[in-house]
Amino acid sequence: MKKRLGRSIFIFALTLLSPAWLYGEEFVFRNTTLSDADWTVLERAEGPVSVCVALTDVDDEDMKRFAALRTLEELDVSYCGITETGLEALKTLPNLKTLWCLYCKKLPPEAVRTIAEMKNLEKLTFFCWFTHEFTENELRHLGKLPKLRFLALNNCSASLETLEKLLPMGRLKKLVLMDYKQKVTPSEVEKFKSRWPECEIDIDYPEKYSKNTKR
């Protein structure tokens, strides 16, 4: 199913686990991989293009085809088999503003080095595989994204103080940290939030859940 909205084209694969709620957007869904007809539509598009192929068999070769879509603005490759090599192909896209990479098993946290070269990126959701963590070494690269306004990460092991030093907090409008690995108290989290009033901050951390359990 495809739907044309004005000059924008939206083509989506099944994304039941993708965090559409993070962006407050409406989507049109697909439950198959992109067909030849889909690629033809994408390649001929003149206006902004948004593509979601989460939970499909998209691989690094497909990423090269996405890299040829000069009007591509949004891409969701969550739960796909891409590697950092596949992301490399996207660095040349002039209009890519939103990227979702959730639980791509072959995509390590170190892939942020490549993502940091996508200078027009405004929204990034990168959830690494369950056994991986984002450390200071990876997070320092995210400060190189001059237009980043929204950032969602999981399994972050850096302290709140380190996050303030490495992330572009002064530019962010929303920061989401899922399964935060540092041991922090509710008061520490509130103080962190108070230092950045212009940024909506959502941190899920163990003490938060234990506090709720005691009630």
**pLDDT tens track for 76-103:** 999 999 999 999 999 999 999 999 999 9
Q: Which helix (H) or strand (E) holds 213?
A: helix 206-214
State yes or no: pLDDT of 170 exceeds 50: yes
pLDDT band at 32 (very low <50, low <70, confident <90, very high): low
State yes or no: pLDDT of 5 exceeds 70: no
pLDDT band at 9 (very low <50, low <70, confident <90, very high): low
Q: How far, in Å, CA of 192 to CA of 135, rounded?
A: 19
Q: How far, in Å, CA of 105 to CA of 31, rounded?
A: 21
Q: How far, in Å, CA of 126 to CA of 30, rounded?
A: 22
Of residues 176 and 7, more confidence is placed in 176
Which regions of the chain does DSSP assign to beta strands (E)?
3-5, 8-12, 49-52, 72-76, 98-102, 123-127, 150-154, 174-178, 200-203
For 86, residues 6+ apart whose C-beta sits below 8 A from its C-beta are 59, 60, 62, 63, 64, 77
8 Å CB contact between 78 and 55: yes
Domain of residue 95, residue span: 3-214
CATH code at position 93: 3.80.10.10
Look at residue 36 in the predicted model and tell me its pLDDT.
Answer: 86
Encoded tokens for 57:
């068999």
Look at residue 169 in the predicted model and tell me its pLDDT.
Answer: 94
Look at residue 24 in the predicted model and tell me its pLDDT.
Answer: 38
Question: What is the mean pLDDT of the segment spanning 111-132?
Answer: 96
Of residues 208 and 10, more confidence is placed in 208
Average pLDDT, the chain: 84
Look at residue 35 in the predicted model and tell me its pLDDT.
Answer: 81
What is the pTM for the complete model shown? 0.83
| Number of domain units in the chain | 1
